[in-house]
Amino acid sequence: VSGTSCDQGFVWDSGRQLCITFALAGTPLKDRGSGFFAAELPGGGAIIGGERFPDFELWDPATSSWIAGGPLAHVRFGGEAVALADGRVLVAGGWNYDGYVTEAEVYDPLTGRVTSAGVMTGERSYLTLTRLASGAVVATGTEEPAGTAEMWLPDEGTWKLIAPMLEARRYHSATALHDGRLLVTGGYTSSAMASAEIYDPLTNRWTQVASMRYGRWYHASVTLGDGSVLVLGGTTSTPEVVERFS
C-alpha cells in the first residue's frame, strides 16, 4: 500500500514511506506464562526464556520460527534480559523454588554458550535492566518496592551498588537516554505512581523531573530518534493516553 493512507489494521510510517502492521511470528516451543524474559539478538532475532523452564529458545527472523536453545544455570521467574553492545545478552534477577537468583548469566549467540556474569548485590525479581550508552547495565527495582539500584560493568563482569532511587518503586519503566542518563517513570507502591527521576552515571546521582499526568505501572517506554521518550499503556486510569518526555 502506498501513499499516506493505509488499509484497516495498518499504520503509515512516514520515515520509511510505507504502511506497516503486526505479523505472526510463530509459536514459542513452550508456554512461559507472564514471568519470562526476552531480548533482541543481532540480525533481528530474539531470545526468550525463564518461567518454570531451565532453558531458552531463539526466534529466527528468516523463517519466523522458534528453535530450542541451550540450558541456563538457573530457573528464573520474573527475571530480565537486555542486549549488550557486543551482541551478547545479559540475564539477571528472578526467583525459583530455592529462593531469589542472584547470579547473572551472559548468552553469546556466536558460540551458543552461557557463562556466569557475576553475583548481584541484592535480591531482585520483576526488575528492570537497562543498557546505558557507556555499555554498562543498570538494574532497578524488585517485586517488593525498593529504591536500591546497581550497575553491571561489562569489562569486569561484576556488579556494584549505585546511589538509590529517590523513591522506592516496583513495576516501573526504565529507559536509556541519548545523553547517557537513565529515565525511570511510574511504578507502584500503595498506588500507581506518576513521578519520574533521572540517573546520571557521571555523578552517581538521581534527580527528580516533572511527573507524568497520570500514574501508571506495568507500562512501556521507548526512546525516539529525537531523544524524547514515549510512555504508554500499563495499569492506569487512562490506558489510552500516551505521554511524551522531552
- Per-residue pLDDT tens over the stretch 63-109: 999 999 989 999 999 999 999 999 999 999 999 999 999 999 999 99
pLDDT band at 1 (very low <50, low <70, confident <90, very high): very low
Mean pLDDT of 199-224: 96
**Closest C-alpha among 86, 45, 35 to residue 69:** 45
CA–chain centroid gap for 235, Å, is 17
**Closest C-alpha among 117, 106, 114 to residue 83:** 106
Mean pLDDT of 222-242: 91
pLDDT of the residue at 80: 96
Amino acid (1-letter code) at residue 168: A
Whether the predicted pLDDT of 145 surpasses 80? no
| Contacting residues for 155 by C-beta, under 8 A, at least 6 apart | none
10 Å Cβ neighbour count for 120? 21
| Contacting residues for 12 by C-beta, under 8 A, at least 6 apart | 4, 5, 6, 18, 19, 20
pLDDT of the residue at 12: 65
- Per-residue pLDDT tens over the stretch 21-41: 777 788 888 888 888 899 999
pLDDT of the residue at 35: 83
- Per-residue pLDDT tens over the stretch 156-209: 999 999 999 999 999 999 999 999 999 999 999 989 999 999 999 999 999 999
Predicted TM-score (pTM) above 0.75? yes
CA–chain centroid gap for 73, Å, is 21
Whether the predicted pLDDT of 2 surpasses 80? no
Higher pLDDT, 89 or 7: 89
Alpha carbon distances (Å) from 170 to 56, 195, 217, 224? 25, 12, 8, 24
